[in-house]
Amino acid sequence: MNFVAPDFMPVVPELFVLTMACLLLVIDVFLEQRQRYITYGVAQLTLLGAALLTLVTYAHAPVTTMFGHYIKDAMGDLLKIFIYLSSAAVFLYSRDYLRRRDLFKGEYYVLGLFGVLGMMIMVSAHSLLSVYLGLELLSLSLYALVAMDRDSPVASEAAMKYFVLGSLASGMLLYGISMIYGATGSVDLQVVSDAVARQGADNLVLVFGLVFLVVGLSFKLGAVPFHMWLPDVYQGAPTSVTLYIGSAPKLAAFALMMRVLVDGLGTLQGDWQQMLIILSVLSIALGNLVAIVQTNIKRMLAYSTISHVGFLLLGILAGSPEGYAAAMFYAIVYVLMAVGAFGMVIMLGRTGFEVENIDDFKGLNDRSPWLAFLMLVIMMSMAGVPFMAGFYAKWMVLQAVVNIGLVWLALFGVVFSVIGAFYYLRVVKCLYFDKPEQSEPIHISLDTEIAISANGLLLVALGLYPTALMTWCATALLN
């Protein structure tokens, strides 16, 4: 047996991120605390470099390498670009927060980069093995990040919960993978797909494996009834980490669903469609209803995440190319909204005070009209008000569901997004119609303010001209 070196060209962005993350780890231990900004700068440069590498090598036809464990295609490249973008925003937004909380450590950026690497592997996974590898790399980085604020009992509890439940979910996923391997004799998604097509959907072991896979994946996505970790982790983790967990990993989770369920087990669509319908209905209902009673803004956004995951699943379960494109569009827009929303939460804090409750947004319009406007845009977009990016995303997803004849499901989604609009509008009411409870001026560094403005305006632009991104998603999925 002789190993032939695989083609390394398609994995150059991954290799770059890995090298830089390792390098950063070494550089960081030799830095003084006051030089820590170098770590931050290198991390941002790494993301920029990876984005350039991905853009230059943008795949127009799918290429598999690493003995079939890895695929480079347009869907992966598109999602990776948004992963870099949102992670760069996360690093930027959280910089001042980490400084004032004494959490400005190199580990945040190193673990962040390793998480990005994990997401890149998930997005480009072409075998169940690399799916698991990427997922674990991401999850392990996230567990450590949540626990980063060691003196906070809430954060430690959140990390513990996340770790225990996350390991359980990984176990489920592995169990499902082992069953699928047993039924098809391979972990390569292409071979699995061929084998499933040959033996049909009535293989009990295969369906059993599928159930465990879906359970594992929906845990990572945070779909009801596997959502229990999500509100606690979002609330307990330092806001900079919540920002990270709430953004790019959703793109990776979407890609994972596409790779495993659509590319690998597409023949079993009849089976997983039913499971996803249940998950999606429960997520939309519970997410929107429970978010109404929340007073903590991070917890409210956590429940809002759950309901958005439900909508994302609607697009995937439609099982049509337009449904997948709609779900991809939804995932991207959601990540932009989540980065913006948690970014606002993080930015309004100052030394000795962090925004925790919805009431902390009271009268923001009197203190800073521009920030209030940006928050308005983000909330409106999340609620799905027409002419916002969120509206178009919901519209496309619902249209895909209607087109496969599940009108009741679409109606259900519409009703609950109207119910959900209540708690977003409550934040807007706080912004504009309540008297401010604090009068301290808001200090935001210039680069952060430019970034959050761009973030908000991007949501408006995507709401007015969604076609460009939508076409990009659709063509990326086609090849």
- Give the number of other Cβ atoms within 10 Å of residue 182's Cβ: 12
Q: Nearer to another protein by C-beta: 3 or 446? A: 3
Regarding 407 and contact with another protein (CB under 8 A), the answer is no
Residues 6+ apart with CB under 8 A from 322: 396, 399, 400, 403, 474
Piece of 21-29, 85-93, 307-315, 317-325 that binds another protein (CB under 8 A): 21-29
Piece of 20-28, 64-72, 235-243, 451-459 that binds another protein (CB under 8 A): 20-28
- DSSP assignments along 252-274, one per residue: HHHHHHIIIIIIITGGGHHHHHH
Shortest distance, CB of residue 47 to another protein, whole angstroms?
20
Tokens encoding 267: 């023949």
Q: Nearer to another protein by C-beta: 104 or 226? A: 104
Size of the site for another protein (CB under 8 A): 10
Residue 303 region by backbone torsions, left for phi larger than 0, else alpha for psi between -120 and 50, else beta: alpha
Q: Which of 188, 243, 225 is nearest to 67 (CA)?
A: 188
Q: Which of 23, 65, 81 is nearest to 336 (CA)?
A: 81
Regarding 38 and contact with another protein (CB under 8 A), the answer is no
Piece of 26-34, 112-120, 415-423, 427-435 that binds another protein (CB under 8 A): 26-34
Residue 350 region by backbone torsions, left for phi larger than 0, else alpha for psi between -120 and 50, else beta: beta
Piece of 25-33, 38-46, 79-87, 140-148 that binds another protein (CB under 8 A): 25-33
Q: Nearer to another protein by C-beta: 5 or 56? A: 5
Among 9, 22, 411, 457, binds another protein (CB under 8 A): 22
Residues in the chain: 479
Q: Nearer to another protein by C-beta: 15 or 289? A: 15
Q: Nearer to another protein by C-beta: 40 or 330? A: 40
> Is residue 145 within 8 Å of residue 115, measured between CB atoms?
yes
Residue 126 region by backbone torsions, left for phi larger than 0, else alpha for psi between -120 and 50, else beta: alpha
Site string for another protein, 100-129 (x = CB under 8 A): ------------------------------
Q: Nearer to another protein by C-beta: 5 or 61? A: 5
Distance separating alpha carbons of residues 61 and 345, to the nearest angstrom: 41
Regarding 25 and contact with another protein (CB under 8 A), the answer is yes
Regarding 33 and contact with another protein (CB under 8 A), the answer is no
Regarding 446 and contact with another protein (CB under 8 A), the answer is no
In DSSP terms, which residues pair with 64 in a beta bridge?
A: 71
What is the contact surface with another protein in residues (CB under 8 A)? 1-5, 22, 25-26, 29-30
